[in-house]
Every structure is written in structure tokens, then in C-alpha cells.
């Protein structure tokens, strides 16, 4: 198993975020699994902000959502990166 | 600035996640997860229902060390569907118990937090419970101690309540709850006159840690602190195994028959505590753990 972290729990109003190192030619891949329909543009905005805050090259980020609000999603994403970087260094 | 150096920083078992509990329970850095989240062994059933999945299907299993001794551990995540047992979740737990028979660890530790079967998965979840019980008893028959820990927000009910009582020993905190039908299930099926699930005091004195300890269903009652759970597990590892024999089963059955004979007419746990000889039974829920254990021991109820 390569380097990976998992933070958060898929519970009501919360989500889990997994960050894995992957060979993606310098890009970042994000996969969001959610049963809440019609919030694509909000997810995109939250993820754009997230990408502006961190260097996400060659990372695969996978999300299982339990109906989290955008603020909770942002905090979890930052927590995941903090733990991922703490583990690598 | 205040000086906080003398302050004991405790980590609540009740509030911790399944992963957080393992971090503080086991020897630092010793945990190695099996079938971790990157394997993406998610529930095939939830996906079909359009329900969110979890990468570990709500259970963390693996190898670790406790006080230097090798242990196999499983930790259920109550936050994900109330810790309910689905097909994959159950298979991971069964596999861990079967692995123990080959590896012979010093113990298997089950950090139980579950409402029981994940009913979305119907028969697959129900069958999983029977497979878990079969594998657990096989591990015990092979001489491996199986120690259950209970103390999370969601308690331990339904099929996992049965699994818990199949363990050699149980360790619980006051906040922990153990039972077969949970309070809401009883209220739904029998009516609010029978059991008011919104009455928290009633719930805790009926299925809570103190009552389970007094009835002899759990062997150790500890404070809600992961360090206290750790100490209790180390202590439990030093205890002789009860053994899974026909005689021990018959003793257990006799104990249940005695319990029904002695307390079958009691309408509330406080009546049982009075019958057990506890002074001031109405005060029992208010006692802190050390005082409670002292009172219990005076009434002849000692942990083992």
C-alpha cells in the first residue's frame, strides 16, 4: 500500500476524504461520491478554492459524502492534506 | 499564561472515532491495518440503493501490539450507519477472527459499537452475524482470549450485542450500553408505556455500563478514558481464561434462570439493585466510578 491517509467519517453532515499518491502526470484527480444531487457547481467552487491553497500534483483525492456543508468539506480537505504532509515528512 | 503542565489530558473513548481509539489503545505506532481504505472494499448493496459508502465499510481491522504483546483488533465506526454490520463489514470481522486461529495472538480485541445488522443489506447482514459468532467461538475454542470493549455513542445492540456476550470478557465505561433490542426498537414494537426511549436516565439504568456490571455481564467497568481501557485490557490479559466448555455453558444457563427467578418481577433496575443489597439504589447512577465500584464490592458484586 502506498502512502495514503483517511480522515473524517461518512455520517450525517460529514464526509471522509482519502488522499493517495498517484502517478497522474502532475495533475490531481478528485472523485466525489454523494447522494445529494444538483450541487455540482458548489463542489467545483469548493474544490477550486482547495486547489488554490495546496500543491495537489500527483494526488488522488477520493470523497464519500454524507451531506456535508461546503465549510465542513473545506475543513476536512485541509485536515486531510495536513495529515498527508505530516506523514510524508 | 496558565501552566497546564500538571493537567492530565484524557482521551474519551465515548467521543473517539474507530481509528482514534486504536491509536490510543495500542502501543504507539504498532497498528498495521488489514484491508484498509485504499483497497476500497465498499458495500455493493449500498451503492445499488444510492446510499453513501465508506472506504472501510465502517470497520477497521488489523494487527497491533499491546504492552508489547501481539494482538488482532477490530474497531467498529458508530458514525457510519450506526456501526451496523453489512456483508463486507461482517466478512472483515469474520476474516480477522479466522486469522487468529492461524496466528495465535495473545488476544483478539473487539472495539464494539453497533446497532446490529445493517438492515439495508437484509440477509447478507444477518448471515454475517452468524458467521462472526461461529468464527469467534472457534477462536475461543483454540484458546485465544476474545476481549470486547464497549463505550461508544451508539452502544452495542442487536446481533453485535449477541457477539459481545460470546466474548471471554467485556470491558465497559459508564456511558457504554449493551443489549439485544435497543431502546428505540423496544419503544417502537412494544409501545412507549413499555419503554420510553427518550428517558435517558431510564435507558442508562436499564442498558448502561453500571447495570451490566452489576448483573455480571461485563467484568470490568472503567472511566471514559482510553488510557483506562488500555490498563483494563492489560489487566484482562493476565486473567485466566474461563474456557468454553459444556460445564461453563450450563453454569451460564443456570445463572440466567436464577436471574429470572430472582428479578423477573422487578419493574425497574433500581429494584434489582435493592435486591442485590446495594445501599441507596436510587443514588447508584450518580456515583463516580471508584465510589460505585466500592459500593458494588460491599454488596458482593466484584469484577473479575
Please choose, from the candidates B214, B215, B210, the residue with its C-alpha nearest in 3D space to the C-alpha of residue B176: B210
Give the mean pLDDT of chain B: 94
For residue B279, the model assigns a pLDDT of 87
Q: Measure the CA–CA gap between B284 and B108, rounded to whole angstroms.
A: 32
Average pLDDT rounded to a whole number, residues B272-297: 94
Average pLDDT rounded to a whole number, residues B286-290: 96
Average pLDDT rounded to a whole number, residues B62-78: 98
CB pairs under 8 A between A and B: 44
Q: With beta carbons under 8 A apart, name residues in chain B contacting A4.
A: 36-38
Q: Measure the CA–CA gap between B190 and B31, rounded to whole angstroms.
A: 44
Q: Between B89 and B4, whose confidence is greater? A: B89
CB atoms within 10 A of CB B300: 9
ipTM confidence score: 0.89
- Lookup: cell for B224: 471514559
- Name the fold adopted by B18-178+218-241: 2-enoyl-CoA Hydratase; Chain A, domain 1 (3.90.226)
State the pLDDT confidence band at A1, using cuts at 50, 70 and 90: very low
For residue B161, the model assigns a pLDDT of 98
Q: Where are the domains of chain B?
A: 18-178+218-241
pLDDT in tens, B176-185: 999 999 999 9
Share of chain B above pLDDT 90, in %: 89
pLDDT in tens, B90-111: 999 999 999 999 999 999 999 9
Q: Measure the CA–CA gap between A73 and A40, rounded to whole angstroms.
A: 14
Whether A67 shows a pLDDT value over 80: the answer reads yes
Q: With beta carbons under 8 A apart, name residues in chain A contacting B55.
A: 6, 16, 18, 62, 64
B44 interface with A at CB cutoff 8 Å = no
By CB neighbour count within 10 A (0-12 exposed, 13-18 middle, 19+ buried), where does B7 fall?
A: exposed
pLDDT in tens, B221-251: 999 999 999 999 999 998 888 788 999 999 9
For residue B126, the model assigns a pLDDT of 95
State the pLDDT confidence band at A89, using cuts at 50, 70 and 90: low
Report the DSSP beta bridge partners of residue B170. Answer: B148
Whether B2 shows a pLDDT value over 70: the answer reads no
Mutate to test the interface with A, among B17, B18, B23, B38 (most CBs of A within 10 A): B38
B38 interface with A at CB cutoff 8 Å = yes
Q: Out of B50, B53, B79, name the one closest to residue A11 (CB).
A: B79
Q: With beta carbons under 8 A apart, name residues in chain B contacting A10.
A: 52-54, 79-80
**What is the least distance, in Å, from the CA of B80 to any CA of chain A?**
5
Q: With beta carbons under 8 A apart, name residues in chain B contacting A64.
A: 52-55
Q: Out of A1, A9, A64, name the one closest to residue B53 (CB).
A: A64
Q: With beta carbons under 8 A apart, name residues in chain B contacting A73.
A: none
Average pLDDT rounded to a whole number, residues A69-75: 97
Whether B122 shows a pLDDT value over 90: the answer reads no
State the pLDDT confidence band at B1, using cuts at 50, 70 and 90: low
Q: Out of A6, A34, A35, name the one closest to residue B55 (CB).
A: A6
Give 3-state DSSP helix, strand, coil % of chain A, rounded to 5.
35, 25, 35
Tell if the CB–CB gap between B38 and A16 is shorter than 8 Å: no
For residue B154, the model assigns a pLDDT of 96
**Quick one: closest CA in B to A1, which residue?**
B38
| Domains of chain A, first to last | 4-88 (3.30.230.10)
Alpha helix segments (H runs only) across chain B = 18-25, 44-48, 87-103, 122-141, 158-165, 183-190, 200-207, 209-214, 226-237, 246-263, 269-275, 289-298
- Residues B164, B148 contacting (CB under 8 angstroms): yes
**What is the least distance, in Å, from the CA of B49 to any CA of chain A?**
10
For residue B10, the model assigns a pLDDT of 85
Q: Measure the CA–CA gap between B210 and B82, rounded to whole angstroms.
A: 22
Provide residues of A within 8 Å CB-CB of chain B: 1-2, 4, 6, 9-11, 14, 16, 18, 20, 33-35, 62, 64-66
Amino acid at each position: 500500500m502506498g502512502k495514503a491517509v483517511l480522515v473524517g467519517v461518512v455520517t450525517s453532515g460529514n464526509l471522509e476524504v482519502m488522499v493517495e499518491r498517484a502517478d497522474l502526470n502532475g495533475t490531481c484527480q478528485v472523485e466525489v461520491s454523494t447522494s445529494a444531487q444538483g450541487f455540482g457547481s458548489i463542489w467545483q467552487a469548493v474544490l477550486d478554492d482547495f486547489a488554490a491553497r495546496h500543491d495537489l500534483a500527483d494526488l488522488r483525492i477520493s470523497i464519500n459524502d454524507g451531506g456535508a456543508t461546503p465549510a465542513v468539506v473545506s475543513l476536512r480537505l485541509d485536515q486531510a492534506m495536513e495529515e498527508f504532509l505530516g506523514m510524508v515528512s | 499564561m496558565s501552566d497546564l503542565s500538571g493537567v492530565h489530558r484524557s482521551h474519551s473513548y465515548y467521543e473517539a472515532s474507530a481509528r482514534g481509539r486504536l491509536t490510543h489503545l495500542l502501543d504507539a505506532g504498532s497498528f498495521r491495518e488489514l484491508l484498509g481504505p485504499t483497497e476500497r472494499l465498499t458495500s455493493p448493496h449500498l451503492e445499488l440503493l444510492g446510499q453513501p459508502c465508506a472506504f472501510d465499510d465502517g470497520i477497521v481491522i488489523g494487527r497491533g501490539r499491546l504492552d508489547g504483546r501481539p494482538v488482532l483488533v477490530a474497531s467498529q465506526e458508530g458514525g457510519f450507519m450506526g456501526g451496523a454490520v453489512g456483508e463486507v463489514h461482517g466478512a472483515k470481522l469474520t476474516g480477522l477472527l479466522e486469522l487468529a486461529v492461524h496466528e495465535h495472538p495473545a488476544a483478539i480485541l473487539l472495539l464494539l459499537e453497533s446497532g446490529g445488522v445493517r438492515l439495508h443489506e437484509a440477509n447478507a447482514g444477518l448471515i454475517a452475524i452468524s458467521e462472526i459468532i461461529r468464527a469467534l467461538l472457534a477462536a475461543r475454542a483454540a484458546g485465544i482470549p476474545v476481549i470486547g470493549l464497549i463505550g461508544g455513542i451508539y452502544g452495542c445492540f442487536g446481533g453485535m450485542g449477541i457477539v459481545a456476550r460470546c466474548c471471554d470478557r467485556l470491558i465497559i465505561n459508564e456511558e457504554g450500553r449493551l443489549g439485544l433490542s435497543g431502546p428505540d426498537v423496544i419503544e417502537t414494537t412494544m409501545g412507549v408505556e413499555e419503554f420510553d426511549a427518550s428517558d435517558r436516565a431510564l435507558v442508562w439504568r436499564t442498558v448502561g455500563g453500571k447495570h451490566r456490571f452489576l448483573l455480571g455481564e461485563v467484568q470490568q467497568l472503567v472511566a471514559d478514558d482510553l488510557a483506562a481501557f488500555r490498563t483494563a485490557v492489560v489487566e484482562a490479559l493476565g486473567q485466566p481464561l474461563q474456557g468454553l466448555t459444556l460445564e461453563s455453558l450450563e453454569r451460564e444457563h443456570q445463572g440466567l434462570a436464577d436471574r429470572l427467578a430472582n428479578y423477573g418481577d422487578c419493574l425497574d433496575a433500581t429494584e434489582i439493585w435493592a435486591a442485590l443489597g446495594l445501599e441507596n439504589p436510587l443514588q447508584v447512577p450518580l456515583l463516580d466510578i471508584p465510589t460505585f465500584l466500592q459500593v458494588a464490592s460491599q454488596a458482593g458484586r466484584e469484577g473479575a
